[in-house]
Structure 1
């Protein structure tokens, strides 16, 4: 049970109220970690501490992390908003807020620290927009990042896909910088997962597109199936894994890359 090495480690989980974040926090408790939670809603888990925080408020983020204090061994960025929320709120939570949490928690980490964020296979088109994404990534201040998003509404669009693309490229960018301090950073790209947020995806996305994204396994994942890879990436067992965007999608990305899944099946939602 101690293969992952979390016993007595101090960890922070943002988005611990439900879904993948709740599953992650619960599994970490089972592994013997000291878990500190951040979320907009109160968790039912018995954590070492819980702080209610709105990731749209950078001052609240700073205060929440400072309140935890001490040395932190691992950070799990699981908070997020779906594309049914206002686009600017989506960007604030999924990218700007996640980045702010990470920057503040990284100050509490030392050699051996690890960070993992949840992106999405909805961000798989990141490589086509790296020059544009890098423009935003080079903006250091939270307020200025939000202003960039406001000024580039045509790029941001509904916010969800672009925010997830940003997380992937930002992870790759920061992996080269943070590793100089002995800190690793990675992210996952989940496929469709049966969480409370799924109802929002169903509202905004055609059923045929969701079905296409479930190929070849032809079912949705569970939150626990997404939490396991998050725990692995931040564990001692993954000490040489850095800057990775890990697909956790039942083989979908593999099918796209090898031509076994037609990417045009995902475009029906755009019509």
Structure 2
């Protein structure tokens, strides 16, 4: 029993150390190619055992920001990291600017648009009807940002499921988890310009009905462009807005 408690305590401490070292690497306190302190030095700094430190260093290597070699642990360029660092990077950028979040929206829109190109032609009549119904619900409730947000998630999920591209779905799952991990309970949803959104949705409904794959993808990209520009304006309008709204 005591061994299990000690093991859990070590893992918890390792997670704390991982978070601190990860943020220090992401904020540039340790630069690419630079060697991290030794296990002994880190254990002394964090007043922890070397087992917890070792576990932490393995996790840093796992997410792609450190490389464990016989000569020590060195920082890896951020460009070689995995999607696992996106959420903490978004949190670290929070309150400064929204560029990384906007880049994430841009990539998400492109991936959903790519998925839509195949899904629209592959969908059964029932699936197509369900997607059109999803768009119609958004058109009928233009002033309900919660409904709009939920409906877009549902539509995106349907498109990726119908497309059935496993690699694309895995990438989308990774991005979705990064977004969901930083949604703030009770945070206000981002309010888009109703006129612009209705125009996009009307075109999306028509293009789904005619199975115009290129136009569906274009409408999806337009929606994410609107999200991005709205978020940029929201950040620029008032510093207090930063990190408050949910997309």
Bigger share in helix: 2
TM-score, normalisation: structure 2 = 0.28
TM-score (structure 1 length as normaliser): 0.26
Larger radius of gyration: 2
**Structure that is richer in strand per residue:** 1
